[in-house]
Structure 1
């Protein structure tokens, strides 16, 4: 109250007394007619009023900005608190014994990651950990199809573990931001998983089982698939540039039009694999087994084929070999090019199809399962 009264008194002095004093000071003892002096005083008063008004406007703007800043800080704090509460509840849901509750928890975390960049890395890491703990390879629970059963007896992942399939999809969508830089999904049971269109660049799938999985148009650049089981997997048009596939089992896999440039398949088993029209420039197939593989239309420019086995592999006039490589001596079979490749199966059909029996037997030390 006193402060307001003081402000009023000060304004009164400024507007009523100060203009006259300023005019008298400027006159320096001179005289003006009463009317002229009044006009001069009013002009000074008007200028002072404009100055005071401007100051009031500036002060009001500053006060409003401060209020908005305080309000925004409060809203941010409330928002962070809400996100933390939602995050905690969603994580708790993942531990539920009810499937629908676990799926709800995955979607809740997914939504949080969509709206909070700060939580994206944590959510992606949680999804990876969820897959590792709920889908260990080899399987440890009696209710899960055993490692040695035919993949034709294994239901699609979305049927036998819908929560894990949702977590895998969430991971593959959110991981496009490349945070964290390295993700571990090794030693997981992803048989007949639906990975179509996901972004899995640089993910560690070492020792994982993706037998008969649908991995169509997936970005697996720089991914690690060392000793992974990819038998009968659908990898058509996927990108595996600089991927590490050492000792991977790709028997019967379909890699039509895939990008394998600079990938490392040293010691990999690619017998009966379909590699038609793949781009494999500068790839490494040292010691790889490519017997009975389909290499028609494959570009193997600058590829390292030292100690690779190619007996019975199908090739055509469109197959491009490394400079100096003698394909005839390697025992390949030259046949007609198949022409335009058929469209890929829809995911549902790809995941439920019965895979054919393989002619080739597993190599020593590989994980064998009935076909």
Structure 2
């Protein structure tokens, strides 16, 4: 099964890769001893598929973005969503998403605590109601991001560009505790 999942994640088809991200989450649920490995692989997948700065010419990347709901391709969005559900993340582990391109991403209400977005571009991202506790945004771009109701307890914003960002300092949205 693992071999099939790796083939899915390396497919040229976005929809096949998207399915692979959910298959990885199922592996983590079925085999808890692989949870840390699955989280590391999905984080690596996001870094490879959405690098900042983009490897492809900016015009090519920008032309593709509006086609996807939430500003991210389905495969990248699926991987970030799986990581945010935290079922595969070991307590206290950081999700390493340095230098990723999440411009315009709709990440509202996701648990992104202990994520590291150092050097990433989250320009225009919707982070409304997110748990961003202990999250690193060092040298990241959060231009025009919406942080309304986000929890920023112990977040590292050193060198982050918050130009035009909204909602900073608004009361945090209460977060749900995931069902066991």
Aligned with 1:221 (options 123, 129, 133): 133
Match of 2:61 in 1: 144
Match of 2:98 in 1: 186
Aligned with 1:245 (options 149, 157, 164): 157
Deviation at 1:175, TM superposition (A): 5.6
SS at match of 1:243: coil
Deviation at 1:111, TM superposition (A): 1.4
SS at match of 2:61: coil
CA distance in 1, matches of 2:93, 2:136: 13
CA distance in 2, matches of 1:210, 1:162: 17
Q: Structure 1, residues 252-274: CA drift from partner, whole Å, max 9, x if none?
A: 1122xxxxxxxxxxxxxxxxxxx
Aligned with 2:26 (options 98, 106, 111): 111
Bigger Cα Rg? 1
CA distance in 2, matches of 1:180, 1:276: 25
Match of 2:176 in 1: none
Match of 1:102 in 2: 17
CA distance in 1, matches of 2:134, 2:77: 23
Point out which structure has higher relative CO (alpha carbons under 8 A, 6+ apart): 2
Native 8 Å contact 2:25 2:82 kept in 1: yes
Deviation at 1:189, TM superposition (A): 0.2
Native 8 Å contact 2:131 2:152 kept in 1: yes
Deviation at 1:117, TM superposition (A): 1.3
CA distance in 2, matches of 1:89, 1:129: 18
Native 8 Å contact 1:234 1:253 kept in 2: yes
Deviation at 1:229, TM superposition (A): 0.5
**Correspondences of 1:78-227 after superposition (within 5 Å):** 86-142=1-57, 143-145=60-62, 155=66, 158=70, 161-174=73-86, 177-179=89-91, 181-227=93-139
SS at match of 2:42: helix
- The alpha-carbon distance between structure 1 residues 214 and 189, as it changes in their structure 2 partners (threshold 3 A), is same
**Correspondences of 1:1-371 after superposition (within 5 Å):** 86-142=1-57, 143-145=60-62, 155=66, 158=70, 161-174=73-86, 177-179=89-91, 181-255=93-167, 275=168, 277-278=170-171
SS at match of 2:28: helix
Deviation at 1:105, TM superposition (A): 0.8
What's the RMSD between the two structures over aligned residues? 2.3
Stretches of structure 2 that go unaligned for 5 or more consecutive residues are 173-180
Q: Structure 1, residues 291-335: CA drift from partner, whole Å, max 9, x if none?
A: xxxxxxxxxxxxxxxxxxxxxxxxxxxxxxxxxxxxxxxxxxxxx
Match of 1:311 in 2: none
Q: Structure 1, residues 138-177: CA drift from partner, whole Å, max 9, x if none?
A: 111022129xxxxxx9525646521111111111112685
**TM-score of the superposition, structure 1-length normalised?**
0.42
Stretches of structure 1 that go unaligned for 5 or more consecutive residues are 1-85, 147-152, 256-274, 280-371
CA distance in 1, matches of 2:91, 2:3: 21
Deviation at 1:114, TM superposition (A): 2.1
Kindly tell me the number of residue pairs found equivalent between the two proteins. 169
Q: Which protein has the bigger helix share?
A: 1
